Structure 1
Amino acid sequence: MSEGVGLLLGCDFSSAPTRKKPIVLALGSSSGGRVQLSKLQQVDSLDGFEAWLQQPAGWIGAFDFPFGLPRELVLHLGWPGGWPALMAHYAGLSRADIRSTFAAFCDARPVGGKFAHRATDGPAGASPSMKWVNPPVAYMLHAGVPRLLAAGVYLPGLHEGDHTRVALEGYPGLLAREILGQRSYKSDDKAKQTPERLIARKDLITALEHGQTRLKLRLKLTHAQRDRLVDDASGDSLDAVLCLMQAAWAQERHAQGVSCYGLPADVDPLEGWIITA
């Protein structure tokens, strides 16, 4: 891969990728507060995703799936209390096992407090990582994290690995909400791919290009890239680029000597943390 060690990666993930709904990788680089998108790459299988991760090239990536489960949930279920052992146990379950176990946990709890949350969910505004529908982030964790581990990458705060390939948990919704508030910019449902959402995507991209977020980074796009991000009404390409911006922020923190790529010092080593939250 020609991008080299300075490569940045933003990943919009799917736990069941297909040609119609692939995993989208936004590849780029950052210099002087400007983040250049070099290309968008689509991966239509989990095997293809794992093969990409295993390439011998350096990168810092932000991946849009949870890297951990709520401590409260893990303790209640009596699952392993160390992250590597917990992930090995979790990888060994089927999706049906996960759904039935988590549904039983939720059914036994009061309305309004069905799910257990990680400490990062509140600041990030993220769905609980034990959710199995809308979005099925529990299945995304199940499909994604074991492949990061199999590829031998480094997960700061959670797991040692190859320090030239750095995987961080990203969340595009965190950055999008900072710009758009509650305005929606995407939908997989054709009927909901409205002019309002198109305008929201344009506004979101313009704000990123002008550096109008607390990350203080400016996105650099070609006209063709901008058109592609606007035209992808699913928002998958734009979500990958939002994760790319989070990876660039982490790279900048690391270059400034901030430990753990800008993750908080007191991150729960079982739960993990969403970068920039």
Structure 2
Amino acid sequence: MPVQVVGVDFTSRPSPRKPITLAVGELRGAAVQLQALHSFASDAAFEAWLATPGAWVGAFDFPFGLPRELVEQLGWPTQWHALIEHYSALSRETIRDTFAAFCAARPVGQKFAHRACDAPAGSSPSMKWVNPPVAYMLHAGVPLLLRAGVHLPGLHEGDRNRVALEGYPGLLAREVIGTRSYKSDEKAKQTPERLIARKDLVEALEQGRTRLGVRLRLSHAQRDLLVADPMADQLDAVLCLLQAAWGATRANWGKPLDADPLEGWILTA
């Protein structure tokens, strides 16, 4: 029975130049056929897609939770849904100032609080507001999922036909090409070396040379598109797509037994 899977490369400020990117595929056995790539230049357009009836398992490239240490020190709610309601009501300026003050009071090398899943995934702390601004991505993205009524395993009960999981494309990319950079939003850094890294990454995904045990199937045009995009938004969405496919084949979506119900967890970490 085929399973519809999706991968989402998210941005907290979508625009025509830097949209939210969605990869849609079909999982059959151990292979995922990429079916379509979509772009959404606004939160409203993406929210409309989320709310569309259907059945899918998706991996979304933004954090679903904040570090418990941070939440407890700030005196914020320690129940996930109440925390998200509190957090989403804050302005980005308030978030920045609150987190900056938290960091300023801590010793060098320990400025940020981390979730338990950050170290295994190699991900940025979800309280980080610059480079990348994942704190704003959480602020923008999670409320969209809640309003759409999707199911977030271990965090929020919703429509179990539409399952949203936290993905992180960098985790899968590093497994394949190590620390080589494969993308940049800056024109000057869109080098031949990064193009070669994207080629190598796509080739490995097609051959199934990852620990996920899932192969990517592409048309020639799709392969050219993924390799040619210097910002790699589409490739990141496809990396999330493969992580979603892995989760779709695992008991309880691959959620670790010790996952923190406040912090959330990262797929495949």
TM-score (norm 1): 0.96
CA RMSD of aligned residues (A): 1.0
Q: Which residue of 2 aligns with 1:61?
A: 58
Match of 1:117 in 2: 114
- The within-5 A match list for 1:104-183 is 104-183=101-180
How far, CA to CA, are the matches of 1:213 and 1:8 in structure 2? Answer: 18
Letter in 2 for 1:198: L
* 1:208 maps onto 2:205 in alignment: yes
Q: Percent identity?
A: 69
State the match for 1:267 in structure 2: 259
Taking the aligned partners of 2:5 and 2:106, their CA distance within structure 1 comes to 41
Runs of 4+ in 1 over 2 A off after TM superposition: none
Output the CA distance in 1 between the equivalents of 2:185 and 2:236: 13
User: Offset of 1:5 from its aligned partner?
Assistant: 8.4
Residue by residue, what CA displacement relative to the aligned partner does 1:92-142 show, whole Å, maximum 9, x if unpaired? 000000000000000000111100000000000000000000000000000
Where does residue 42 of structure 1 map in the other structure?
39
Question: Which structure 1 residue ranges, 5 or more long, are not aligned?
Answer: none
Q: What TM-score comes out, normalization by structure 2 length?
A: 0.99
* 1:51-89 Cα shifts (integer Å, max 9, x gaps): 110001111000000000000000000000100000000
* Cα offset, 1:6, TM superposition: 2.8
> Which residue identity does 1:39 align to in structure 2?
A
Establish whether residue 21 from structure 1 lines up as the match of residue 18 from structure 2: yes
**Matches of 1:162 and 1:32, distance apart in 2:** 24
Corresponding position of 1:7:
4
Aligned equivalents of 1:115 and 1:43: distance in 2?
31
CA spacing shift, 1:5–1:29, aligned 2, 3 Å: closer
Task: Give the distance between the partners of 2:22 and 2:114, measured in 1 at CA.
Answer: 28
Q: Counterpart in 1 of 2:235?
A: 238
1:269 CA drift (Å): 0.2
Question: Any idea what SS the aligned residue of 1:267 has?
Answer: coil
- In the TM superposition, what is the alpha-carbon distance from 1:32 to its structure 2 partner? 1.5
Q: Which runs of 5+ in 2 are unaligned?
A: none
Q: Which residue of 28, 33, 37 maps to 1:31?
A: 28
